[in-house]
Amino acid sequence: MTDSKPLSGKLALVTGASRGIGAATAEALAREGAHVILVARTAKALEEVEDRIHAAGGSATIAPLDLTDDEAIGKLGAAVSERWGALDVLVLNAAMLGSLTPVEHIDPKEYSRILTLNVGSNQALIAAFDQMLRKAERADVIGVTSSVGHEPRAFWGAYGSSKAALENLLGAYADETEHTGRIRVQIVDPGATRTRMRQLAFPGEEPESVKPPEAVAEFILQRLSSDATTGELVRAEA
C-alpha cells in the first residue's frame, strides 16, 4: 500500500524543537510523513516531543545539542550524513531573546551569546548540512525571524540586530544556491505567537490573545508545498 503522506521518505531537522514553534513544527512535519531530527539542549524535553510524535504514528530521532558549540554541530552533520543520504528540510528556529534594554546598556557578554546562537549557529548548521541539502531532489531551508529584524524597535536592539543579520545571511545563501535549482530558502516571521519567548517579552499579555505555535507550524507546512521562490521573507498571519 502506498503511503500518501506528502513528506513520506523525507528527512527534516528542526532546531529549538523542545517547545514552542520548533516542537509544533517538528510534530507537523512528522505527521506528514517526514522522519524528524529534533535538536535542542534539553534531552528530557526532546524526549517528550519524540514520544508525542511516536504516539501519533510518526518517527523522530532526538539530538540533544548545545548549538553554540560549532564542533558539536559539525559532529552532528557528520553523523546524520553517515546515516542518511540527503536532508530535505532544515528548520532554523532556535533563538535567544536576551534582555530588552537601550542599546547603550546592552551587556557585551549577553550580546555575544545572542549573536552566537541566533546567527553563528545557523551559519554553522548550513555549513554542516549544505552537502546533504544539495543531494536532496528539492530541499527547503526555513529560517525563523522576527519583525524586529526588519522593523527596528526601541529596547530590542540586541535581539533585532541578530535577526537582521540572520535574514541577511539567509538571503545571501538563497542567492548563492539559486542556480542549483535544488535549494529553496524561506524566511518566516511568525508574528505574535504563544511561546515562552513571547511571555518573557510581554509578561502582561494574555496568552490566549495570540495564536498558538501550531498555527505557525501549519503555515510552514503550507510554505513547503507552495510555489514560493527562494529568498522570500513572509509573515505568518493568524
Q: Catalytic amino acids?
A: 159
Please answer whether residues 138 and 90 qualify as being in contact, where contact means their C-beta atoms are separated by less than 8 angstroms: no
The DSSP-derived string for 211-235 is: B-HHHHHHHHHHHHTS-PPTTEEEE
The C-alpha atoms of residue 115 and residue 99 are separated, in whole angstroms, by: 13
Extract the runs of DSSP E, i.e. beta strands, from the chain.
Answer: 11-15, 35-40, 59-64, 89-92, 139-144, 183-189, 232-235
Provide the pairing of β-strand 183-189 with 139-144. Answer: parallel
| CA distance to 52, 81, 86, 237, per residue, from 129 (Å) | 26, 8, 9, 30
The C-alpha atoms of residue 73 and residue 125 are separated, in whole angstroms, by: 6
Nearest to 30 by CA among 10, 2, 1, 3: 10
Q: How far apart are the first and last CA of the chain?
A: 37
C-alpha cell at 88: 530535505
